[in-house]
Structure 1
């Protein structure tokens, strides 16, 4: 019976590199016997069993440092505690990855919606989100970023929002002088403290023209907004309030930001 195996044989058996085996040896978690004549490494049955445990724990992403303690110092109770600790780390990672997945799913949906609904018009009831306006200058955007520069802003639970007053919309339909602020869906109001919730406004309970428009903020007239006003006119409707836009997506290649847009109209 073969009682020892070369480093190459062991590496092939466990589908690991010889460099990995040498690293384990250097780290003090795996021993190897060396032939004094040729310098080759050999592994005994006991060392192969130890390697099986090393690979078992590495597959659970335990660190080499922890594995060394498991092999050289710990009883089963200590090992159990290390595994529980690693379980908590994995659970936290699962939560983070789930959150990341949800962010990606939401962002992809918004880009898809921009692609499919750009310039399409619907008459809808009032959306249920609430909003707060800050101002019209670039400094106000910086204020927003500083205040909401946290995960809630990034994962789109708090949305960058624009308001174009009715008079300006009718005079020259564009986004160049829009007031800036935030909006938040009702289910996410808990993210704001009570005082800030009191500062929020809701859209009036009337009909709205809904569409998606892209803007570079500097155009004299926005093509989609012009078409939206024409659509309302053909439908026998009048603009009856401001435009509210919620940020959806950006195309830096085209220099455009895209917004969901609601324009208040009479019944």
Structure 2
């Protein structure tokens, strides 16, 4: 992660309750990472919501805590630039992907994407940003994935899906790191489900659901002179605010 400093979690009661809920969760033996039992799905949803609320409360007390807000905005700005470039003919990121014999074109694309979007910061939050960037890049190249970029070009619809996915994954990865640094879990033998992975995944899914959609915003503006990237940039502050749950709408976080 670029640092050996332990990342301390929030200290309020919501954080303690979230840790307790996770520690008490004993996954069913029948659950798999891609197929949770109904009981485990409900538990993961609930625990994810608790951790999102705990993180939200910590950021409301200190908006600059963890450096998360700044990292999300800076990473989001870089993401928009990269996705916008990938919408253009012959983007530099896709050139000469097979130039290095020791790495596959797919892996080289992921490396370039993470380098461009993830930045070179050395804080723990920067590690979460790079993990989120990797998740987005991998979705573009996995055969059969709904977001796989089979045409070699990023469409408007794909741009918007990846934009929202990035912020969901960023918050999910940050919660994953918080849990790993602060919660000791004892998973029973023969249980294949990692509760931390499951909770982080549900955090990401919950975040994506509340984020603004640049495509919808562009349609509402009813103008062809504003690029999708410009719309996404205009939405960036709102997107980060909603992703972190610190908007002033007064709406309580829900799963």
TM-score scaled to structure 1, two decimals? 0.22
Bigger Rg, structure 1 or 2? 1
Structure (1/2) with the larger helix percentage: 2
**TM-score normalised by the chain length of structure 2:** 0.22
Q: Where is the strand percentage greater, Structure 1 or Structure 2?
A: 1
